[in-house]
Each structure stands twice: as structure tokens, then as C-alpha cells.
Amino acid sequence: MPATVRNGDRDSDDVRDAQRMLNRVLGGPDLRVDGDFGPRTDAAVRRFQRQARLDDDGIVGPLTWGALIRAFQRAVGLPEVGEIGPRTRAALGGSPSPGGGPGGGSAEQLLADPRVQALLDAIAYAEGTDRAVDGVSRGYDVIVGYVARVTDFSRHPNRYVPAANSTAAGRYQFLSSTWGELNRPDFTPHNQDVGAVMLMQRRRMVAPLLADDPRQAILNGNREWASLPGSPYGQPTYPMATLLDIYARSLNLRRQRAGSGSGAGGSAGGAAAPTRTTPAATAAVNGRAEAILHTLATARLNGGADHSCVRTVLNNMDRLGVPSFAGGTASDPNNARGAMVQLVRSGHWTSLALPGARQRTISGFYGSVRAYVIDGAGYRALARAGQLPSGAIVFQTRHGWDYGGGPYGNDMAIVRNGGRQVFNYELVSTGIVYRELREAVVLVPTGR
């Protein structure tokens, strides 16, 4: 969705789009398409708002944009999806160059550039579909909230997930309406990559990226992907520093794979095509880690006695063949912090760098580990929005992980429904075990 615009905005591409749409839809204002939101544009917006039975405040926000885009699409004979995709952009005219700026090209051509591949990895990381950062692309079969997997790659699954209020699917979490506008022949990994680059072009991410300014590229994309920093959609976002680190690590790996220690895909050393897989191979690459998440997210879980969260979760993991660690927590079978430390030390699990989380050392009777800790408010926001990976293991504390007064007030549970629910020794329908939740750590499988 374009940015909110109003009287006084100057030299704005979003204002230009609004002016073109108003000229077509109203058939009369004959606005000058100059990107300046002045009195005539303001009057035309208010006129359209009255026709659409919206508040005639002259502000083109989400509701007005949606109505205006649909009205324009109706006028030019396109499906009324309410978003500006490539076909709508072509109908508008005046679009940016296909490559999104200097040095661009077709989406297929751009996909060979390691910088584009690395930014796609950062987007997938932020969207929660691929957090391995190992130079291999995966996550193409993810349906939002990990409620299921894509099994038919001939088309977008178009599966509505009520808990997330979304149809997002694939490595880059395409909404079904967005995917329809991209007009790709199928939903295979390659076409998901191409479609994501097309969205990067639409959001003018390519030009700064090819000018070696990934920070600006990420900022430009935050209206397409709600997980990117600065996104206006109210969902939890990842810190810019985290995504720049992911981008840099991935770029280094991609360049090493390409056999080029410098420059873009068009440099003298050349660049290999991005690592892609068929749907069957994708599942193998995703491998054990994603299978574990899927199992814990969907399998029937056995309950336990009150206050037996650690023992019950470990019993369920053992019953389902999910790797944990040997020996439990010895004489204290309900020590959540001890279970967390041993899961991480086992090498089978690692802490997830959630938005706003900070890495700390967590110590106890069973040793010390480094883990990403998120505060209670941040965790609540992610859980409420269903942004946590279903099947992950979450440790919640009402004291803080530095508390030395014993294991009570700490909890271990399996994430369900994106975090809106968890299962410790029973299903907790709110997803929050402690009303006074202070900190949390979320572990995801490594696949080892």
C-alpha cells in the first residue's frame, strides 16, 4: 500500500499515482501529475471520498488508497485487488524503470546478482521463513504461521489463515492478491524469487541496492514487507542492524559460491545464479529443522500434572521423536532454565533473534549459554500478532533470567498458532503463562 499523503506533500511518487488515478476515475479534474499535493488535488480527493462514502478529510490513507486503487482497476478492466501490482503499475504509466533505477534490468537478470540474492535472504529472515543464513535458499513451502506446508507448487495455495488474517505463503510471504498481480506461471521456488525481485522493483529497492546502500533498499521495502524496519503496519519489525548483518553475511557467502570476491553479478569475475531447488529438493534442504517445527506445531500433545511444564514438554518431544537432551533436569524435573541451557548446549536448538531481543549470558546449575532475550512487552506484541514460529520452544519468566531464587516462576512450553497459544502441561489459550511476564527466550531447531 502506498504511503499516506495529504495537502502540502511535495514531489511524491505516491501523490503522482493518486493524481493519475483521480484523473481516470473522476474523469474531469485534469490534475497536473507533478507529485505536488495542492488545493486542486485536495479538492479531487475530497470529491472521490464523498463518492466512495468515506470521510472527506482530503487525506489519502489506507482506506482511501484501497478504494481509489480498486476504482482505478475497475476503470481499466483489471481485477479489483486494491493493491498496485505490475499490471496496475503498467496501466498507470509513469512507472520507474524496470530495473528500479540505474544498473537495473529484468527481474530474471537481477536475480543473478549476489547483492539481490543477499537482500532476498534478509527479507526471508525477517519474514521468518528462512533463518539459516548459509547461502542456500529455503522456506518456499511455508504457509503463514507454519500451520501447513505448500505441497502443490503449480499455483499460490490461497489458504486463508484466520489466526493471522492472511493468505501469505512462500519464502517471501506473498499474499494471494499480490501473487495474482505478479502474473507468474507457477509458485515454484524460481518464480517466487523472480516475484520477490519484481516487488523490489516496484518499491524502488533495486537502485540503492546496486549503489551499495542496502539500508536504503530495506527502508524502501517496508511497505511491501511488514517485518522490515519502519513499516507502518503496526506489526513487530526487525532492527536494521540485524538485517544489515544478515545481508552482509549472506552476501559474503553468495560471493564465495559465485567464485567472485568483488562487485556485482556483472563484474569481471561473473556471478553464479542463486542457489535454488525444486520443490522436492527444497523439502530436503529445509530438512529436519522445519520438519521438527511442523511436528510440534501440529501433532497431538499429551497433557501432564499441574506445574510439570518441563517434564511434560520433554515427554512430548521424546514421544514425537524430536531431539532434546539426555537425563532431564536430574533431581529437579521442572527446572525451565536448566532445560533451556541443556537444549542449547545439545546443539539441537538455538535461540531466535526476535525483534528487540538482546543476546545475554544465562547461567544456572546446568551451566551457561548465550541466548537472545526479549522483554515481556516485546514478546506479548509478537505473540498477539501471531509472529512467533509455531513449533518453537518458548521459555517465559516472571522474575528475569538473572534471578537466583530458584526455578519457580519460569516456564517451558511449545508455541502454537504463531504464539497466540502455548502448550506447557496444558493448552494456554492466551499464549502468555504469566500475567507479569518479564522476559522470554524462544528456541528453534538447528536441524542437527
CATH number at residue 118: 1.10.530.10
| pLDDT score recorded for residue 333 | 66
| pLDDT score recorded for residue 28 | 67
Residues 391 and 314 in one domain: yes
- 288 domain-assigned: no
Question: Largest Cα–Cα distance in the chain?
Answer: 80
| pLDDT score recorded for residue 328 | 54
Q: Grade residue 329 by pLDDT with cuts at 50, 70 and 90.
A: low
Residues 433 and 360 in one domain: yes
Identify the residue whose cell numbers are 482506506: 63
- Closest-CA residue to 301 (of 440, 437, 421, 434): 421
- 145 domain-assigned: yes
Q: Residue 334 pLDDT more than 80? A: no
| pLDDT score recorded for residue 252 | 87
pTM of the shown model: 0.46
Residue 67: domain span? 13-92
Q: Give the number of domains in the chain.
A: 3
The alpha helices in 259-349, defined as continuous H runs, are 279-298, 309-319, 336-346
Residues 317 and 340 in one domain: yes
- 394 domain-assigned: yes
Residues 82 and 168 in one domain: no
| The domain boundary residue, chosen from 35, 61, 92 | 92
Rounded to a whole number, what is the distance in angstroms from the first to the last CA of the chain?
A: 40
Q: Residue 420 burial (CB < 10 Å; 0-12/13-18/19+)?
A: buried
| The domain boundary residue, chosen from 92, 121, 146 | 92
Q: Residue 65 pLDDT more than 70? A: yes
Per the CB < 8 A criterion, the answer to whether 223 and 232 are in contact is yes
Identify the residue whose cell numbers are 520443490: 279
Strand partners, 274: none
- Closest-CA residue to 189 (of 170, 206, 215): 170
Q: What is the DSSP letter of 420?
A: T
| pLDDT score recorded for residue 357 | 83
Average pLDDT over residues 141-152: 86
pLDDT in tens, 1-22: 687 889 998 878 889 889 989 9
| pLDDT score recorded for residue 166 | 87
Q: Which amino acid, one-letter code, is at 159?
A: R
| pLDDT score recorded for residue 379 | 92
Residues 229 and 254 in one domain: yes
Collapsing DSSP states into helix, strand and coil, what is residue 24? helix
Q: Residue 18 burial (CB < 10 Å; 0-12/13-18/19+)?
A: buried
| pLDDT score recorded for residue 394 | 97
pLDDT in tens, 337-360: 889 999 998 888 988 888 778 889
pLDDT in tens, 227-267: 999 988 888 888 898 899 889 988 988 887 666 443 333 32
Identify the residue whose cell numbers are 533505477: 101
> Is the pLDDT higher at 367 or at 431?
431
Q: What is the DSSP letter of 350?
A: E
> Is the pLDDT higher at 170 or at 75?
170
Contacts of 2 (CB under 8 A, 6+ apart): 14, 17, 18, 60, 65, 84, 223
Q: Residue 444 pLDDT more than 70? A: yes
Residues 343 and 380 in one domain: yes
Average pLDDT over residues 297-317: 91
Contacts of 12 (CB under 8 A, 6+ apart): 3, 5, 35, 36, 37
| pLDDT score recorded for residue 200 | 92
Q: Residue 321 pLDDT more than 70? A: yes
Calpha distance 183→85 (Å, rounded):
9
Residues 117 and 86 in one domain: no
Residues 273 and 363 in one domain: no
Per the CB < 8 A criterion, the answer to whether 86 and 101 are in contact is no
CA distances from 373 to 152, 214, 397, 438 (A): 37, 27, 11, 10
Residues 308 and 406 in one domain: yes
